Each structure stands twice: as C-alpha cells, then as structure tokens.
Amino acid sequence: MEDWALIRRLAAEGVPKARIASRLGISRNTVAKAVASDGPPRYERKQVKETSFTPFEGRVRQLLADTPDMPATVLAERVGWSGSIRWFRDNVNRLRSEHHRPDPADRIEWSPGDAAPCDVWFPPRKILLEDGSNVLLPVLVITAAHSRFMTGRMIPTRKTEDLLLGSWALLQQLGRVPRRLIWDNEPGIGRGRLTEPARSFAGSLATRVVLLRPRDPESKGIVERRNGYFETSFMPGREFASPADFNAQFTDWLTAANQRVVRTTKARPVDLIDADRAAMLPLPPTVWHVGWRQQIRLG
C-alpha cells in the first residue's frame, strides 16, 4: 500500500520510472503496474508450507531482532539446530534482510569509477610480531563504491606513510584508481585539510582525496558496515601466526566474499568491478615501494 502511494506520487512529480524502481529497489514492471492501476494492490495471504526450519523460525527472528549480524552458525547453535547448515543459512538469510537496520549509505547512487571510501579497521585479535610481542594492528580497507568490491591489507601503523603505502598496495590490487578516495578525517590523511604527503599522493595518482564533513555518515556507511561484516564473518575461529599470515587469510577470504551477492545492489561485486574499473583512472607509471618497516617486516 505504502509503495503504491509513493510510486504514484513520484510518477506524478515527473520522476522517471527507472529512477523510481532503483530508489525503491523494485522492478520497472512493478512501477509501471502501480502507475497504471486505479487502486492499491490487494494481497492475499498464501498458505505457508511448514518445513524443518518452521519450528525454529520464531526463535531465530527474536535473536536477529537483537543482533541482525549474528552468523548463521552461531544462530544454529543457539536454537539447537542439528540439520543441514546450508539449508539453515538459506532460511536465516531470508529473514536477516527484514531485521537489518537501514543504512544511510544505501540512499546514495554511486557512479562507476567515481569513488572508493577508505577506512581503518582494528581486528579484535592481537598479532604476534617477530620480536615476540603481541599487538593490535590496523587494517586498511578500500571499497569501490559502485561495485562494492572490497580490498584490505594489515598495515604497521596509522601513520601517514603506512596509510599511503597501504593505499598504493590496494590500488595495485584493484588495477585502477577511483576518481575520489573518501576518508573520514583520518589523522594520517588529514583533519580539515590534507597532510602534505596525502596531497602529493593524490597528485601523483591524478585523483582527489576527499575528507568527509563531521556527522556525514552517508558516504562512509559502505566501509563501516563492512568492518562489522569482517568481524562477524571473517574473524570467528581464526588464528594468525604473523601479519603476513593475516594478510594471506584475509586476501583469500575477500576473494570469496567479493563473489557473494550484496543485499543493497542485488549483484556480486566481482560482476560489477569491470564497469567500475572501466570508468576509473589508470595507475601511474611511477612504482611505489610498498613494505613493512624493518621492525615488523613480513617473513
């Protein structure tokens, strides 16, 4: 009923049907039918066929209402599921979309090649270094906004040189340079204005480094949501022998994660990345040296 009324109002205001469909996440045929109809659609409740998942559905809904990102394996343990985990996960994914809190980043339409939000994520697990110490290390994450294609790399510190060297490494993985790299006032990149090395880095790439205004979650939501995704889907059950081991495991996991359908785009990042790359800038001919500092160099 609400969608029907909204579709009719937007169409009356002259908004194109394709844009209405994209904005509401529905098909163009649905928009066309709503515009042509004289009244709201009538819905008839279909008889629900019970399955082995039915007795567990109520409890799963309760758990998802409190923790929308709880992994399916944890949910299965909590509700006492003993059947096929794949069948359980399919049903959980069906319910999960009903409990996800709206993300302000979903309201933005990102053009291919235009932007890549960047962020620093601290995995909640200390990493063993060559000197025998165990420390929390940051992970630089860059996500191509249009395709949602994710890249990430553990770096030694949040200092400017490590952020820029890490960015260069991830851009090399991406194969091209987004026209804008978006940062949320990371100190090593700049607060209010870019650091001199960040300006030089942007100039060498012929791109723009954009610092978000305070309380501007829309452009940052894509990366921040994925940080939570990493903690619930990548981290559980893993051990890391070194920073190099973390990066090897993370790279393998990202390869698989980029082949999964993203709820907001209804597409796989791996299927959209070519369109993203085609609109990006070429990598510069300058070869940047990327590595760890001596005290925590990779083995």
Phi, psi of 197 (to 5 degrees): -60, -35
Q: Is the dihedral of CA 263, 266, 272, 275 positive or negative?
A: negative
> Residue range 202-229: average pLDDT?
74
Is residue 194 within 8 A of residue 188, CB to CB? The reply is no
> Residue range 94-111: average pLDDT?
64
Instruction: Decide which of 3.40.50.720, 3.40.50.170, 3.90.1150.10, 3.30.420.10 is the CATH code for 106-296.
Output: 3.30.420.10
Q: Which residue has the tokens 């090593």?
A: 188
The dihedral over CA atoms of 14, 18, 22, 27, expressed in degrees to the nearest 10, equals 120
Q: Is the dihedral of CA 282, 287, 288, 291 positive or negative?
A: positive
Dist CA 65 CA 67 (whole Å): 6
Q: Is the pTM of this model over 0.95?
A: no
Q: List the structure tokens of 94.
A: 């069906």
Dist CA 105 CA 227 (whole Å): 14
> Residue range 128-137: average pLDDT?
91
pLDDT tens, 269-293?
999 999 999 999 999 876 554 444 4
Which has the closest alpha carbon to 222: 132, 123, 116, 63?
A: 116
236: left (phi over 0), alpha (psi -120 to 50) or beta: beta
User: Can you give the pLDDT at residue 205?
Assistant: 87
Per DSSP, the three-state class of 232 is: helix
Pairing mode of beta strands 139-144, 193-194:
unpaired
Query: Helices in 68-220 by DSSP H: which ranges?
Result: 72-79, 85-99, 160-174, 196-205
Q: Where are the domains of the chain?
A: 2-36, 54-101, 106-296
Which H or E element spans position 31? helix 28-36
pLDDT tens, 23-60?
777 888 888 888 887 666 665 555 557 888 899 998 99
Picking from 10-14, 148-152, 272-276, which range would have the lowest pLDDT averaged per residue?
A: 10-14
Highest mean pLDDT among 7-16, 28-37, 100-109, 239-248: 239-248
